[in-house]
Protein backbone atom coordinates (compact mmCIF):
# COMPACT_ATOMS: atom_id res chain seq x y z
CA UNK A 1 0.00 0.00 0.00
CA UNK A 2 3.00 2.28 0.42
CA UNK A 3 3.29 2.60 -3.37
CA UNK A 4 -0.34 3.62 -3.92
CA UNK A 5 -0.82 7.03 -5.56
CA UNK A 6 -3.22 7.93 -2.73
CA UNK A 7 -1.97 6.85 0.72
CA UNK A 8 -4.37 4.64 2.71
CA UNK A 9 -5.01 7.38 5.26
CA UNK A 10 -6.60 9.43 2.44
CA UNK A 11 -9.66 7.19 2.63
CA UNK A 12 -12.35 7.38 5.31
CA UNK A 13 -12.59 4.91 8.17
CA UNK A 14 -14.31 1.71 7.07
CA UNK A 15 -12.76 1.65 3.56
CA UNK A 16 -11.62 -1.79 2.37
CA UNK A 17 -9.70 -3.18 -0.59
CA UNK A 18 -11.80 -5.89 -2.24
CA UNK A 19 -11.95 -8.17 -5.26
CA UNK A 20 -9.23 -8.82 -7.79
CA UNK A 21 -6.30 -7.08 -6.11
CA UNK A 22 -6.84 -9.06 -2.89
CA UNK A 23 -7.31 -12.31 -4.82
CA UNK A 24 -4.28 -11.80 -7.06
CA UNK A 25 -2.12 -10.73 -4.13
CA UNK A 26 -2.90 -13.99 -2.34
CA UNK A 27 -2.13 -15.92 -5.54
CA UNK A 28 1.17 -14.10 -6.04
CA UNK A 29 0.15 -12.68 -9.42
CA UNK A 30 -0.17 -9.01 -8.53
CA UNK A 31 1.42 -6.62 -11.02
CA UNK A 32 3.33 -3.44 -10.15
CA UNK A 33 0.27 -1.22 -10.71
CA UNK A 34 -2.80 -3.39 -10.18
CA UNK A 35 -6.32 -2.08 -10.60
CA UNK A 36 -7.64 -1.32 -7.13
CA UNK A 37 -11.27 -1.86 -6.11
CA UNK A 38 -12.28 -0.11 -2.91
CA UNK A 39 -15.53 -0.18 -0.95
CA UNK A 40 -16.20 3.04 0.94
CA UNK A 41 -18.87 3.70 3.57
CA UNK A 42 -20.23 6.88 1.96
CA UNK A 43 -20.62 8.65 -1.38
CA UNK A 44 -17.92 7.17 -3.64
CA UNK A 45 -18.31 9.79 -6.38
CA UNK A 46 -17.87 12.70 -3.98
CA UNK A 47 -14.84 10.97 -2.44
CA UNK A 48 -13.34 10.35 -5.87
CA UNK A 49 -13.67 14.04 -6.75
CA UNK A 50 -12.12 15.01 -3.43
CA UNK A 51 -9.14 12.68 -3.99
CA UNK A 52 -8.68 14.09 -7.47
CA UNK A 53 -8.51 17.64 -6.11
CA UNK A 54 -5.90 16.62 -3.55
CA UNK A 55 -3.76 14.21 -5.54
CA UNK A 56 -4.56 14.94 -9.20
CA UNK A 57 -5.82 12.55 -11.81
CA UNK A 58 -9.13 12.34 -13.65
CA UNK A 59 -12.50 11.04 -12.45
CA UNK A 60 -14.90 8.87 -14.45
CA UNK A 61 -18.39 8.21 -13.05
CA UNK A 62 -19.12 4.53 -13.65
CA UNK A 63 -22.62 4.32 -12.14
CA UNK A 64 -24.28 7.40 -10.69
CA UNK A 65 -27.22 5.48 -9.24
CA UNK A 66 -25.03 3.04 -7.29
CA UNK A 67 -22.35 5.66 -6.55
CA UNK A 68 -19.40 4.12 -8.37
CA UNK A 69 -16.51 6.10 -9.83
CA UNK A 70 -12.96 5.62 -11.12
CA UNK A 71 -9.90 7.72 -10.38
CA UNK A 72 -7.12 7.43 -12.98
CA UNK A 73 -3.90 8.73 -11.52
CA UNK A 74 -0.25 8.31 -12.60
CA UNK A 75 -0.90 5.03 -14.40
CA UNK A 76 -3.12 3.64 -11.62
CA UNK A 77 -6.83 2.92 -11.79
CA UNK A 78 -8.80 3.10 -8.52
CA UNK A 79 -12.46 2.06 -8.63
CA UNK A 80 -14.49 3.29 -5.65
CA UNK A 81 -17.96 1.96 -4.83
CA UNK A 82 -20.34 2.81 -2.05
CA UNK A 83 -20.81 -0.06 0.41
CA UNK A 84 -23.98 -2.04 -0.22
CA UNK A 85 -25.80 -3.13 2.94
CA UNK A 86 -25.37 -2.29 6.60
CA UNK A 87 -21.77 -3.49 6.84
CA UNK A 88 -18.82 -4.73 4.78
CA UNK A 89 -19.75 -8.39 5.23
CA UNK A 90 -23.20 -7.75 3.76
CA UNK A 91 -21.53 -6.12 0.76
CA UNK A 92 -19.28 -9.14 0.23
CA UNK A 93 -22.25 -11.52 0.21
CA UNK A 94 -23.64 -9.63 -2.81
CA UNK A 95 -20.56 -10.27 -4.97
CA UNK A 96 -20.24 -12.68 -7.89
CA UNK A 97 -17.72 -15.34 -6.85
CA UNK A 98 -16.39 -16.33 -3.47
CA UNK A 99 -12.76 -15.66 -4.38
CA UNK A 100 -13.81 -12.11 -5.28
CA UNK A 101 -15.63 -11.71 -1.94
CA UNK A 102 -12.41 -11.18 0.01
CA UNK A 103 -11.73 -7.85 1.67
CA UNK A 104 -8.79 -6.23 3.39
CA UNK A 105 -9.83 -3.20 5.51
CA UNK A 106 -7.35 -0.33 5.26
CA UNK A 107 -7.27 0.17 9.03
CA UNK A 108 -3.79 -0.66 10.43
CA UNK A 109 -3.61 -4.24 11.71
CA UNK A 110 -6.99 -5.21 10.22
CA UNK A 111 -7.47 -8.86 9.28
CA UNK A 112 -8.62 -10.29 5.98
CA UNK A 113 -12.39 -10.81 5.75
CA UNK A 114 -13.62 -13.99 4.09
CA UNK A 115 -17.28 -14.55 4.98
CA UNK A 116 -18.12 -16.76 1.95
CA UNK A 117 -15.14 -19.16 1.83
CA UNK A 118 -13.05 -17.63 -0.94
CA UNK A 119 -9.74 -18.70 0.60
CA UNK A 120 -10.82 -22.32 0.36
CA UNK A 121 -11.51 -21.82 -3.36
CA UNK A 122 -8.10 -20.25 -3.93
CA UNK A 123 -6.43 -23.25 -2.33
CA UNK A 124 -8.59 -25.72 -4.24
CA UNK A 125 -8.30 -24.02 -7.64
CA UNK A 126 -12.08 -23.75 -8.01
CA UNK A 127 -14.42 -20.93 -9.03
CA UNK A 128 -17.61 -20.93 -6.94
CA UNK A 129 -20.49 -18.45 -7.25
CA UNK A 130 -21.57 -16.82 -4.00
CA UNK A 131 -25.27 -17.33 -4.78
CA UNK A 132 -27.37 -18.18 -7.80
CA UNK A 133 -29.28 -14.91 -7.42
CA UNK A 134 -26.02 -12.95 -7.56
CA UNK A 135 -25.32 -14.27 -11.06
CA UNK A 136 -28.78 -13.22 -12.20
CA UNK A 137 -28.39 -9.72 -10.77
CA UNK A 138 -25.91 -9.08 -13.60
CA UNK A 139 -25.96 -11.99 -16.11
CA UNK A 140 -22.61 -10.89 -17.53
CA UNK A 141 -21.16 -12.43 -14.37
CA UNK A 142 -21.75 -15.86 -15.93
CA UNK A 143 -19.44 -15.11 -18.85
CA UNK A 144 -17.04 -13.28 -16.56
CA UNK A 145 -16.83 -16.43 -14.45
CA UNK A 146 -15.77 -18.50 -17.45
CA UNK A 147 -13.17 -15.88 -18.31
CA UNK A 148 -11.88 -15.67 -14.74
CA UNK A 149 -11.59 -19.44 -14.42
CA UNK A 150 -9.64 -19.50 -17.69
CA UNK A 151 -7.25 -16.73 -16.65
CA UNK A 152 -6.57 -18.35 -13.27
CA UNK A 153 -6.41 -21.90 -14.60
CA UNK A 154 -9.25 -22.86 -12.21
CA UNK A 155 -12.20 -25.18 -12.78
CA UNK A 156 -15.83 -24.15 -12.59
CA UNK A 157 -17.47 -25.73 -9.55
CA UNK A 158 -20.20 -28.11 -10.83
CA UNK A 159 -23.12 -26.37 -9.15
CA UNK A 160 -21.91 -22.99 -10.43
CA UNK A 161 -21.60 -24.42 -13.93
CA UNK A 162 -25.11 -25.80 -13.62
CA UNK A 163 -26.46 -22.36 -12.75
CA UNK A 164 -24.72 -20.88 -15.79
CA UNK A 165 -26.13 -23.56 -18.09
CA UNK A 166 -29.63 -23.10 -16.62
CA UNK A 167 -29.66 -19.33 -17.02
CA UNK A 168 -27.42 -18.82 -20.05
CA UNK A 169 -30.29 -17.17 -21.97
CA UNK A 170 -30.25 -14.26 -19.53
CA UNK A 171 -27.05 -13.08 -21.23
CA UNK A 172 -29.29 -11.27 -23.75
CA UNK A 173 -30.22 -8.84 -20.97
CA UNK A 174 -26.67 -7.50 -21.11
CA UNK A 175 -25.60 -4.79 -23.55
CA UNK A 176 -23.88 -6.49 -26.53
CA UNK A 177 -20.84 -4.24 -26.15
CA UNK A 178 -20.24 -5.56 -22.62
CA UNK A 179 -20.54 -9.15 -23.84
CA UNK A 180 -18.04 -8.50 -26.63
CA UNK A 181 -15.61 -6.91 -24.20
CA UNK A 182 -15.64 -10.05 -22.05
CA UNK A 183 -15.26 -12.30 -25.10
CA UNK A 184 -12.26 -10.31 -26.31
CA UNK A 185 -10.64 -10.58 -22.87
CA UNK A 186 -11.33 -14.32 -22.93
CA UNK A 187 -9.83 -14.67 -26.41
CA UNK A 188 -6.70 -12.83 -25.23
CA UNK A 189 -6.24 -14.96 -22.10
CA UNK A 190 -3.76 -17.82 -21.89
CA UNK A 191 -5.83 -20.90 -22.65
CA UNK A 192 -8.45 -18.70 -24.29
CA UNK A 193 -9.45 -21.41 -26.78
CA UNK A 194 -10.53 -23.75 -23.99
CA UNK A 195 -12.33 -20.87 -22.26
CA UNK A 196 -14.28 -20.02 -25.41
CA UNK A 197 -15.21 -23.68 -25.80
CA UNK A 198 -16.46 -23.65 -22.20
CA UNK A 199 -18.57 -20.56 -22.89
CA UNK A 200 -19.87 -22.27 -26.02
CA UNK A 201 -20.79 -25.50 -24.24
CA UNK A 202 -22.56 -23.54 -21.47
CA UNK A 203 -24.73 -21.87 -24.12
CA UNK A 204 -23.46 -18.35 -23.44
CA UNK A 205 -22.72 -17.71 -27.12
CA UNK A 206 -25.98 -19.15 -28.47
CA UNK A 207 -27.85 -15.82 -28.77
CA UNK A 208 -25.12 -14.32 -30.93
CA UNK A 209 -24.14 -17.22 -33.18
CA UNK A 210 -25.63 -17.51 -36.65
CA UNK A 211 -28.59 -19.83 -37.06
CA UNK A 212 -27.95 -23.04 -38.99
CA UNK A 213 -25.15 -25.60 -39.20
CA UNK A 214 -21.79 -24.42 -37.91
CA UNK A 215 -18.48 -25.35 -39.55
CA UNK A 216 -16.91 -28.56 -38.35
CA UNK A 217 -13.40 -27.39 -37.73
CA UNK A 218 -10.60 -29.88 -38.40
CA UNK A 219 -7.25 -29.67 -36.63
CA UNK A 220 -5.94 -27.93 -34.67
CA UNK A 221 -8.03 -29.13 -31.76
CA UNK A 222 -9.09 -26.77 -28.98
CA UNK A 223 -5.98 -25.57 -27.22
CA UNK A 224 -3.63 -26.39 -30.09
CA UNK A 225 -3.38 -22.88 -31.57
CA UNK A 226 -1.59 -21.62 -28.47
CA UNK A 227 0.85 -24.53 -28.66
CA UNK A 228 1.39 -23.89 -32.37
CA UNK A 229 2.13 -20.25 -31.62
CA UNK A 230 4.89 -21.39 -29.24
CA UNK A 231 6.26 -23.81 -31.82
CA UNK A 232 6.45 -21.00 -34.38
CA UNK A 233 8.11 -18.74 -31.83
CA UNK A 234 5.74 -15.88 -32.54
CA UNK A 235 6.86 -12.59 -31.05
CA UNK A 236 4.66 -11.18 -28.26
CA UNK A 237 3.23 -8.62 -30.69
CA UNK A 238 2.52 -11.28 -33.34
CA UNK A 239 0.88 -13.60 -30.80
CA UNK A 240 -1.20 -10.79 -29.28
CA UNK A 241 -2.73 -10.09 -32.70
CA UNK A 242 -2.96 -13.61 -34.12
CA UNK A 243 -4.14 -15.79 -31.23
CA UNK A 244 -7.30 -13.87 -30.22
CA UNK A 245 -8.45 -13.64 -33.85
CA UNK A 246 -7.78 -17.32 -34.53
CA UNK A 247 -9.81 -18.19 -31.43
CA UNK A 248 -12.73 -15.90 -32.18
CA UNK A 249 -13.24 -17.09 -35.77
CA UNK A 250 -13.82 -20.63 -34.54
CA UNK A 251 -16.87 -19.62 -32.51
CA UNK A 252 -18.18 -16.42 -34.14
CA UNK A 253 -18.60 -15.33 -37.74
CA UNK A 254 -18.74 -11.73 -38.96
CA UNK A 255 -22.58 -11.43 -38.66
CA UNK A 256 -22.34 -12.60 -35.04
CA UNK A 257 -19.72 -9.94 -34.34
CA UNK A 258 -21.99 -7.38 -35.97
CA UNK A 259 -24.79 -8.42 -33.61
CA UNK A 260 -22.34 -7.89 -30.76
CA UNK A 261 -21.69 -4.41 -32.19
CA UNK A 262 -18.02 -4.97 -32.79
CA UNK A 263 -15.97 -2.62 -34.93
CA UNK A 264 -16.22 -3.03 -38.68
CA UNK A 265 -12.50 -3.69 -38.75
CA UNK A 266 -12.86 -6.74 -36.48
CA UNK A 267 -15.79 -7.99 -38.54
CA UNK A 268 -13.74 -7.70 -41.72
CA UNK A 269 -10.70 -9.42 -40.20
CA UNK A 270 -12.89 -12.25 -38.97
CA UNK A 271 -14.73 -12.54 -42.29
CA UNK A 272 -11.55 -12.81 -44.35
CA UNK A 273 -9.71 -15.21 -42.06
CA UNK A 274 -12.75 -17.45 -41.71
CA UNK A 275 -13.28 -17.46 -45.47
CA UNK A 276 -9.73 -18.61 -46.24
CA UNK A 277 -9.69 -21.10 -43.38
CA UNK A 278 -12.86 -22.76 -44.60
CA UNK A 279 -11.59 -22.83 -48.18
CA UNK A 280 -8.16 -24.24 -47.37
CA UNK A 281 -9.31 -26.69 -44.71
CA UNK A 282 -12.22 -28.03 -46.74
CA UNK A 283 -9.93 -30.41 -48.61
CA UNK A 284 -9.94 -33.90 -47.17
CA UNK A 285 -6.16 -33.91 -47.66
CA UNK A 286 -5.69 -30.78 -45.53
CA UNK A 287 -4.13 -27.37 -46.00
CA UNK A 288 -1.35 -28.41 -48.38
CA UNK A 289 -3.86 -29.82 -50.87
CA UNK A 290 -6.04 -26.75 -50.44
CA UNK A 291 -3.11 -24.51 -51.33
CA UNK A 292 -2.31 -26.61 -54.41
CA UNK A 293 -5.84 -25.95 -55.64
CA UNK A 294 -5.25 -22.19 -55.64
CA UNK A 295 -4.22 -20.52 -58.86
CA UNK A 296 -1.73 -17.68 -58.87
CA UNK A 297 -4.44 -15.01 -58.87
CA UNK A 298 -6.17 -16.58 -55.87
CA UNK A 299 -2.90 -16.99 -54.03
CA UNK A 300 -2.17 -13.31 -54.57
CA UNK A 301 -5.61 -12.34 -53.25
CA UNK A 302 -4.99 -14.46 -50.15
CA UNK A 303 -1.82 -12.53 -49.38
CA UNK A 304 -3.43 -9.19 -50.16
CA UNK A 305 -6.42 -9.82 -47.91
CA UNK A 306 -4.49 -11.44 -45.04
CA UNK A 307 -1.29 -9.43 -45.24
CA UNK A 308 -1.64 -8.14 -41.66
CA UNK A 309 -3.22 -11.30 -40.22
CA UNK A 310 -1.31 -14.10 -41.91
CA UNK A 311 0.12 -15.49 -38.60
CA UNK A 312 -3.46 -16.20 -37.49
CA UNK A 313 -3.94 -18.37 -40.59
CA UNK A 314 -0.59 -20.10 -40.04
CA UNK A 315 -1.74 -21.37 -36.63
CA UNK A 316 -3.82 -23.87 -38.60
CA UNK A 317 -0.97 -24.94 -40.93
CA UNK A 318 1.42 -27.89 -40.49
CA UNK A 319 4.39 -26.67 -38.47
CA UNK A 320 7.04 -26.90 -41.23
CA UNK A 321 4.88 -25.09 -43.78
CA UNK A 322 3.82 -22.48 -41.23
CA UNK A 323 7.45 -21.79 -40.29
CA UNK A 324 8.40 -21.39 -43.96
CA UNK A 325 5.54 -18.97 -44.63
CA UNK A 326 6.20 -17.02 -41.42
CA UNK A 327 9.84 -16.49 -42.42
CA UNK A 328 8.76 -15.05 -45.75
CA UNK A 329 6.00 -12.95 -44.17
CA UNK A 330 8.52 -11.39 -41.79
CA UNK A 331 10.48 -10.12 -44.79
CA UNK A 332 8.73 -6.88 -45.80
CA UNK A 333 10.43 -7.06 -49.22
CA UNK A 334 8.88 -10.41 -50.17
CA UNK A 335 6.81 -9.54 -53.28
CA UNK A 336 4.21 -12.27 -52.74
CA UNK A 337 3.69 -12.02 -48.98
CA UNK A 338 3.61 -8.21 -49.16
CA UNK A 339 2.36 -7.62 -52.71
CA UNK A 340 2.81 -4.17 -54.23
CA UNK A 341 2.87 -2.92 -57.84
CA UNK A 342 6.52 -2.82 -59.03
CA UNK A 343 5.83 0.65 -60.46
CA UNK A 344 3.27 3.27 -59.51
CA UNK A 345 0.40 4.49 -61.66
CA UNK A 346 1.74 8.02 -62.04
CA UNK A 347 4.96 6.71 -63.56
CA UNK A 348 3.00 4.54 -65.98
CA UNK A 349 0.96 7.55 -67.03
CA UNK A 350 4.08 9.64 -67.65
CA UNK A 351 6.13 6.97 -69.43
CA UNK A 352 3.39 5.32 -71.49
CA UNK A 353 0.95 8.16 -72.03
CA UNK A 354 -1.86 6.55 -70.06
CA UNK A 355 -4.68 8.33 -68.28
CA UNK A 356 -6.43 7.32 -65.03
CA UNK A 357 -8.85 4.61 -66.05
CA UNK A 358 -10.08 1.11 -65.32
CA UNK A 359 -7.51 -0.16 -67.83
CA UNK A 360 -4.70 1.42 -65.80
CA UNK A 361 -6.01 -0.38 -62.71
CA UNK A 362 -6.03 -3.68 -64.58
CA UNK A 363 -2.46 -3.09 -65.75
CA UNK A 364 -1.29 -2.40 -62.18
CA UNK A 365 -3.00 -5.60 -61.02
CA UNK A 366 -1.25 -7.57 -63.78
CA UNK A 367 2.16 -6.11 -62.89
CA UNK A 368 1.59 -6.84 -59.21
CA UNK A 369 0.85 -10.50 -60.04
CA UNK A 370 3.90 -10.81 -62.25
CA UNK A 371 6.15 -9.25 -59.61
CA UNK A 372 4.68 -11.42 -56.85
CA UNK A 373 5.75 -14.57 -58.66
CA UNK A 374 9.17 -13.30 -59.68
CA UNK A 375 8.56 -12.56 -63.34
CA UNK A 376 9.33 -8.85 -63.01
CA UNK A 377 12.59 -7.59 -61.54
CA UNK A 378 12.79 -3.86 -61.11
CA UNK A 379 11.25 -0.73 -62.56
CA UNK A 380 12.65 -1.01 -66.10
CA UNK A 381 11.44 -4.57 -66.38
CA UNK A 382 8.01 -3.42 -65.21
CA UNK A 383 7.84 -0.79 -67.98
CA UNK A 384 8.75 -3.40 -70.63
CA UNK A 385 6.12 -5.80 -69.34
CA UNK A 386 3.57 -3.00 -69.18
CA UNK A 387 4.20 -2.12 -72.85
CA UNK A 388 3.81 -5.75 -73.88
CA UNK A 389 0.55 -6.05 -71.91
CA UNK A 390 -0.87 -2.92 -73.53
CA UNK A 391 -0.11 -4.26 -77.02
CA UNK A 392 -1.78 -7.62 -76.46
CA UNK A 393 -4.69 -6.40 -74.34
CA UNK A 394 -7.34 -4.49 -76.27
CA UNK A 395 -8.65 -1.28 -74.77
Cα–Cα distance measured from residue 253 to residue 249, given in angstroms and rounded to the nearest whole number? 6
Q: For the chain of 395 residues, list the mean pLDDT of each consecutive stretch of 10.
A: 82 93 92 91 94 93 92 93 93 96 92 96 97 96 97 96 97 96 95 92 92 64 65 91 93 94 96 92 76 93 97 90 95 96 92 89 95 93 93 83
Instruction: Fill in the DSSP letter of residue 105.
Output: E
The full set of domain ranges for the chain reads 1-121, 125-208, 213-329, 345-392
- Other C-beta atoms closer than 10 Å to the C-beta of 347 total 14
156 by DSSP, 3-state: which?
A: strand
CATH architecture of 125-208: Orthogonal Bundle (1.10)
- Other C-beta atoms closer than 10 Å to the C-beta of 52 total 17
- The string over 256-295, giving b where at least 16 C-beta atoms fall within 10 Å of a residue's C-beta and e elsewhere, is bbbbbebeeebbebbbbbbbbbeebbeeeebbeebbeeee
Instruction: Give the per-residue pLDDT at 316.
Output: 87
Task: Answer whether 116's CB lies under 8 Å from 129's CB.
Answer: no
Task: Answer whether 97's CB lies under 8 Å from 131's CB.
Answer: no
Cα–Cα distance measured from residue 347 to residue 345, given in angstroms and rounded to the nearest whole number? 5
Q: Which phi-psi region, left, alpha or beta, contains residue 103 (left: φ > 0; alpha: ψ -120 to 50)?
A: beta
Which among 149, 179, 322 is positioned nearest to 238, based on CA atoms? 322
Instruction: Give the per-residue pLDDT at 182.
Output: 97
Cα–Cα distance measured from residue 155 to residue 390, given in angstroms and rounded to the nearest whole number? 66
Assess whether the previous peptide bond of 246 is cis (omega < 30° from 0).
no
Instruction: Give the per-residue pLDDT at 223.
Output: 53
Which among 284, 285, 282, 273 is positioned nearest to 313, based on CA atoms? 273
| Side-chain-side CA neighbours of residue 84 (13 Å) | 13
Burial class (CB in 10 A: 0-12, 13-18, 19+), 81: buried
Reply yes or no on domain 1-121 having CATH 3.30.460.10: yes
235-273 residue pLDDT tens: 999 999 999 999 999 899 999 999 999 999 999 999 999
> Bridge partners of 155?
126
Amino acid sequence: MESWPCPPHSFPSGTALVGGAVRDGLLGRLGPRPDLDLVVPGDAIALCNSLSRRHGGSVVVLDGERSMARLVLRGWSLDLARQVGDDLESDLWRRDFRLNALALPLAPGAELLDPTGGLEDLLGGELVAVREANLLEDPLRMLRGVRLATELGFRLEPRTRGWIERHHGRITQVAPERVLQELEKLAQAAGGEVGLQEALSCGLLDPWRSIGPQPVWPQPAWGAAEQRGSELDLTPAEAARALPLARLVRVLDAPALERLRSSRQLQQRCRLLRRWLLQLLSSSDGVVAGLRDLGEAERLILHQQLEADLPALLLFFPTNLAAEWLKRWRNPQDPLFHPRPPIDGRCLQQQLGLSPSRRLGELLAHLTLEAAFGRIQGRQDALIQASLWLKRTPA
